Structure 1
Amino acid sequence: MQLSNNRYVIQGVDLLNLCAEMGTPLYVYDGNKIIEQINTLKKAFDGLPLKIKYATKALSNVSVLKLIKSQGCEVDAVSIQEAHLALLAGFKPHEILFTPNMVGFEEIQEAVTLGLRINIDNISILEQFGDKYGSSVPCCIRINPHIMAGGNHKISTGHIDSKFGISILQMRHVERIVASHSMHIDGLHMHTGSDILESEVFLRGAEILFDAARNFKDLRFLDFGSGFKVAYKEGDITTDLYDLGKKLGQAFRNFCKEYGRELEIWFEPGKYLVSESGYLLVSTNVIKTTPATVFLGVNSGMNHLIRPMMYEAYHHMTNISNPQGVQRMYSVVGYICETDTLGWDRKLSEAKEGDIIATHNTGAYGFSMASNYNSRFRPAEVLIVEGKAHLIRKREEFADLTANQIILDL
C-alpha cells in the first residue's frame, strides 16, 4: 500500500474508490507482494533442489491458490477439504502434501485414494497406515524435535508438550513399526512454530532431522516446515532468509553428501507468503469518548480478524481517509457484543465517522479464521493482480446464514 497524490493505492488501485465500489468490511490482497515473497524465498535457497509447499490454511481462497501455483509452488494441506480446494485450483495430487493432525484414519484413506502425499504425525496412525498399505504407498513422517521456538506460545508447535509430530525420543519405536510393515518412508518433516527469528533454531532442528534421517535409506526429501517471521510494525525484526539460506543450505549439502545422494529441501511457508499482501478495510461507525479512552468503533471485529484477541497480535493501522491528519490516540474496537479490541492505544490520523481504516498484515489467518459470530456476514475478498482489482469472494448475505439450517415448523 503506497501513498500517491494523497490517496492510498495498491498497484495503482485507489483503495477509497474500491471501498466505495465494493463496500466494507473488505479483504484486499496485493498479488505482487505474494509473488515478491515467493521470489525472495527462491533466491535465498538458490542452487538447492527447493520445493515451496504453500501452507493452505493461511489463506485458502482458490484464486489465491491459483496465483501461487502460477509461480511454481506446490501446497501443504491440513484437512481433506483444503486438499479438495487445492485440486480445484489445479494442483496435481502428488503436488499436495497432506499433513493432518488428530484426524480419523478414514480421512487418511481418502487422501490416499486421491493420490496425495501423506505426512503422518502420530504412532497410532503410522501403525494403521503400515498395516493397511505396507510398502505400496510411500509416506512422510512428521517429527517433534522438542524445540521451543517462535512467538506466542499458541503458535509454537515443536516443543515437548505440543500435540504435533512424533517425539524424537520415540524414533526407535517408529523404526520398528516401519521395519515390521516394510513401509516406504520417502520424507521426514518438522515444524517448530511461527515467527522464528534466528537461523540457529532452524539449524538446531536440522541437526535433529539429519540424525533421524540417517536411519531411513530411501528418502527423497526433508521438509523443514516454515515459521519465517514477517514485520508487523515499523522497524520489526524479521527472519534473515539469505543468512538462513547460506547456513542451512551448506548444512543440507553436507548432509546429502554424507547420505550418498541429493535430496530435495522443502519448506511450507503460509504467513510468510501472504500475510503482508493483505489489508482489512473497515468503516468507522462511531467515535466514542469515555473518561479514560477514545474508542474508534468499526463495522468489523474479531469475527473477521481474531488474531488480536486470540494471540494478542499487533496489526498496524492506517486511516486512509485522512493521510496527512493530526495524530490522535484511539483504541480501535469492533461491533461484536463482546470485548473485541483490534488495536489498543493506536496513533491514527484524526478520524471521523465514515473514515476508512486499513488494518495491515491480514493476508494470513484473517479471512481463513473468520466466522459468523453474532450472525454477522463474512466480508468480500479482492485480489489485485497486474493493476486490476478482481472480486474473488462475494460478501455474504442473509441467505448464507440460513442456507444449511433446517427450520422446524413449530
Structure 2
Amino acid sequence: MQPKDLLQLSEQFGSPLYVYDADKIKSQYNRLTKAFSKVEKLRINYAMKALSNVAILQLLEGMGSGLDTVSIQEVQLGLHAGYAPERIFYTPNGVSLEEIEEVYALGVQINIDNLSILEQFGAKHPNVPVCIRINPHVMAGGNANISVGHIDSKFGISVHQLPHLVRIVENTKMNIVGIHMHTGSDILDIEVFLYAAEILFDAARHFKDLEFLDFGSGFKVPYKKDDIETDIEELGKKLSKRFNDFCVEYGKNLTLIFEPGKFLVSEAGQFLAKVNVIKQTTSTVFAGIDSGFNHLIRPMFYGSSHHIENISNPKGKERFYSVVGYICETDTFANNRRISELKEGDILSFKNAGAYCYSMASNYNSRYRPAEVLWMNGKGHLIRAHETFEDLLKNQIPLPVQEKV
C-alpha cells in the first residue's frame, strides 16, 4: 500500500482506522512454509489472539492454515469462520474443567497445561486425544510480559514434573497424541529455540503414541529499519534436520506444528490516526491525535516502538514530536520522535499494527473502537464497522424509573 492509498482509505472510512494488507499476510505464511519445506508433515496454526477478525481468519483458512485458540469464544469464532473442528487447536491457561469439556464436545484438539486438570480430565475421558503443554524453563528474550517459558511462568507443566505427569498418564491410561511448548516472544537467538526444542524431544520420548510435536512460535518481526528479527530461514534449515532425525529415532513420521500470530499479521497492519492539535510547551512539541491507548496499548503496556510516518507529508522536513493520545491519562505513543513536519489534520500511520492492537482495544473513556479494513486486490474492504453510541449502550440496562434515587 502506498501513502496515497492509505490517505484515500482514511477519507473513505474515517479515522482512526486499522488497515491490513492481505498480500503481506500471504507472503509471511508462504515464507514460513518454505523455510520448513524439508519437513514432510508441517502444519501452521494461526494464533488468532493476535488478530481475531473473522475476515482475517477466513483469509488464512483459505491458505490452508489451522487455528491456535486460547478460549472457547475463540474456538466458536473459528468454527463460525469456517474452520473444521479438527483444524482448531485449543491451548487455554487457568480455565475451568467445565470449559475444557465444552470445547472437547465441539471436536477440537485439546492442549492441557496443568497436572490437576490433566488428571481430572483423564479420569473422565481416558480415550480422548490430548496434547500436553510443557514448560521448558527457557527465556526466549523480549518483554517479560510475553516471555512464557521461564521457570516462574504460569504456563505449562514443568519439565521437572515429568515423572508425575507420566504417572498420571499411566494411571488414567490417557491418549496422549502431542507434546507442546511455547517460549513466548520475541525470539532473538535461534540457538535458544533449538535448545528448547531438545527439551521437547526429551519429553516426547516418554510417550509412545504421539502424532505431532508443537513448537509454539514467538518469532520476532522487525519494528524499524535494520531491526533484528528471527532468522526463519536459518531456523528452518536447522530445526527441520533435527526434527526429521528425531522422527527416524522415534520410529514414526510426526507432524511439526507452529502457531505464529505476530509473525503472520504484525507487519501487515497499519493504524491511521489524525493529528488533532500541535501543542508547543516550554520543552516539548506534542502532536495530539484522535486516538489513545484505548486503541493501541502496546507502547504503554509493552514499551513497544511503532514506526510513525506522516503520510500527509511523507517527504517533509523532519522535526521532533512527542505523539500523544486523547485519553484522560498519560498515553504517549512516542517521545521526541523524528517525523516529517506535522500540521493539524495530517494523517499518521503507525506501522506493525496488525498484532495485539485491535484485539486489545477497549471502550475506555467511553470512546468508540475504530473500523477495520482489509486491503486486497488493490481495494479496501470494510471488515468491521466503526462503533456507534448504540454499540456502547447495547448491553447496558438502566435502572427502572421507580428505582432511581
TM-score (ref. length: structure 2): 0.98
CA distance in 2, matches of 1:323, 1:57: 32
Matched, 1:364 2:355: yes
CA distance in 2, matches of 1:225, 1:398: 40
CA distance in 2, matches of 1:96, 1:200: 29
Task: Map residues 3-402 of structure 1 onto 2, 5 A cutoff.
Answer: 8-9=3-4, 14-48=5-39, 49-134=41-126, 136-402=127-393
CA distance in 2, matches of 1:210, 1:370: 38
Identity of matched residues, %: 62
Residue deviations 1:237-287, cap 9 Å, x none?
111111001111111111111101110000000000000000000000000
CA distance in 1, matches of 2:124, 2:291: 48
Q: Is the 8 A contact 1:202 1:248 kept in 2?
A: no
CA distance in 1, matches of 2:141, 2:377: 34
C-alpha displacement of 1:324 = 1.2
The DSSP-based 3-state class of the residue aligned with 2:64 is coil
Q: Is the 8 A contact 2:219 2:263 kept in 1?
A: yes
CA distance in 1, matches of 2:192, 2:244: 18
Q: Is the 8 A contact 1:147 1:159 kept in 2?
A: yes
C-alpha displacement of 1:202 = 1.4
Aligned residues: CA RMSD: 0.7
Paired letter, 1:30: D
TM-score (ref. length: structure 1): 0.97
Q: Is the 8 A contact 2:182 2:215 kept in 1?
A: yes
Q: Is the 8 A contact 2:273 2:348 kept in 1?
A: yes
Q: Is the 8 A contact 2:68 2:88 kept in 1?
A: yes
CA distance in 2, matches of 1:57, 1:270: 7
Structure 2 gap ranges (5+) = none
Q: Is the 8 A contact 2:313 2:341 kept in 1?
A: yes
Paired letter, 1:60: S
Residue deviations 1:340-384, cap 9 Å, x none?
011121111100000000000010000000000000000000001
CA distance in 2, matches of 1:336, 1:169: 46
CA distance in 2, matches of 1:310, 1:399: 29
Q: Is the 8 A contact 2:141 2:187 kept in 1?
A: yes
Q: Is the 8 A contact 2:140 2:193 kept in 1?
A: no
Structure 1 gap ranges (5+) = 3-7
Paired letter, 2:220: K
C-alpha displacement of 1:64 = 0.2
CA distance in 2, matches of 1:50, 1:387: 31
Residue deviations 1:282-327, cap 9 Å, x none?
0000000111110000000100000000000000000000011110
CA distance in 2, matches of 1:263, 1:178: 20
CA distance in 1, matches of 2:345, 2:383: 25
Q: Which runs of 4+ in 1 moved over 4 A?
A: none
Q: Is the 8 A contact 1:282 1:300 kept in 2?
A: yes
The DSSP-based 3-state class of the residue aligned with 1:276 is coil
Paired letter, 2:119: E
CA distance in 2, matches of 1:75, 1:345: 40
CA distance in 1, matches of 2:42, 2:84: 18
CA distance in 1, matches of 2:240, 2:84: 28
Residue deviations 1:37-60, cap 9 Å, x none?
000001000021110000010000
Q: Is the 8 A contact 2:212 2:255 kept in 1?
A: yes
CA distance in 1, matches of 2:278, 2:386: 26
Q: Is the 8 A contact 1:121 1:142 kept in 2?
A: yes
